[in-house]
Amino acid sequence: MNPSQTKASRLLQIEALLLAHPEGMKPAEIARRLGVHRSTICRYLPDLPLHIYFDEADGHRWKIDRSADLVNVRFNLHEATALHLATRLLARNSDRQNSHAAAALRKLALALERLAPHISRHMHQSAEAMESGSQRADPVYLQALEGLTCAWAQGRKVRLWYCKGAGEPVSEYIFCPYYLEPSAVGRSTYAFGWCDTAGGMRTFKLERIQRVALLDEEYQVPAEFSPAELLADAWGIWFSEGEPVEVVLRFSARVASRVRETRWHRAEQTTGLPDGRLEWRAEVAEPTEMLPWIRGWGADCEVLEPIELREKVADEARRMAGLYIHTGD
C-alpha cells in the first residue's frame, strides 16, 4: 500500500473510531488505536473532512459532528423507485417544509439521472414540493425534528417544552426518544420513548413541541423495545397498555369491493354477506383513533361494536344532520 492509500485508510479508521466514541478522543488515544505515533495523527488534521473537528475547550479532543457525517449508500433502480414512492407519501402527507428530506431526494435524483431520467425528474419535482410556498415554513418544528434525531442517534436525553393544545400551559419534560413515527392522519410526526418526568412511556407530537435541548446524560433503548410490537394493535399511532378492543363494522354493498382492495389493519377479518354487504372486524388498541376513517365512509359504514364507538358516531351524525337540515324559519 503506497503512502496516499495508507493515509486514506487511516482517515477512514479515524472517522470510524470517532463515530464509535461521540464523547470525542484525544490524539494520543487515536494514535494508540491505530498503532502510529501521535505526531503522525496530528499531521492528518488538515486532511480530515469538515464534520471532524478539534475541540480545544473539551480537553483537546477530536470529535465528529454526526449530523453532518455523510453516509454512502447505493441503490438499484427498483430500490430507488421504492424510495421515490415513500418520499411521495411524505411530500403529500406533510404540511411543513422539510429541507432535509428535499436534500436527500435531490441527491437520489442526481444519482438516477443517467439510469432513469424520467424518474429522476419526478424526484426533483417532489423535492421542490417539500420546500414550496404551499408548505408551511415552521422552523420550530424543524428544530424539534433535528434535536430529537440527534438525541436518538447519539443516545442522549433531551429536555423538551411541550404544549398539548391552544390555551394549554407549556410543560417541560426529560425525554429519551426511542422511535420516530409519521402519521398520515393529521399529517403529523410522533416521538415515542421513555419520559423521566412522567415515569413511563410517552408519545409527543412534534408539531406541539416548542423547543428541544440536547442533554449530556445518556440513555439506552431497551433491547426488548420493538416499535412493531408497540404499534401492533394500533390503528395509527395510539397504543394502549391494556387489551385491544374488537371493532366490528358493516359496509354497504356499494363500497364493499373498495374495502376489500386494501388491508387496513394487520388483524382485520372480512366476511361477505348474502346481500353484498361486508362485515369487517379487527382488534384495535384505541378505537377512537378510527373515527376520521369511519367518518370518511359516511352512510356506507355502520359501527356495530363497541357500543361506545357506535354511540360516538351516532351522536356526530345527529349533530351533522343539524347543520344541514332546517326545520323552517
The b/e string for 260-289 (b: 16+ C-beta within 10 A; e otherwise) is eeeeebeebebeeeeeebbbbbbbbbbbeb
| Contact partners, residue 59, CB within 8 Å, separation at least 6 | 24, 26
| Three-state secondary structure call for residue 191 | strand
Convert the pLDDT of each residue in 268-277 to its tens digit.
999 999 999 9
The model's confidence at residue 156, banded by pLDDT at 50, 70 and 90, is very high
Who wins on pLDDT, 41 or 246?
246
Convert the pLDDT of each residue in 52-76 to its tens digit.
777 777 777 878 776 665 666 677 7
- Percent of the chain topping pLDDT 70: 92
pLDDT confidence of residue 187: 76
Convert the pLDDT of each residue in 170-216 to its tens digit.
999 999 999 998 887 767 889 999 999 999 999 999 999 999 999 99
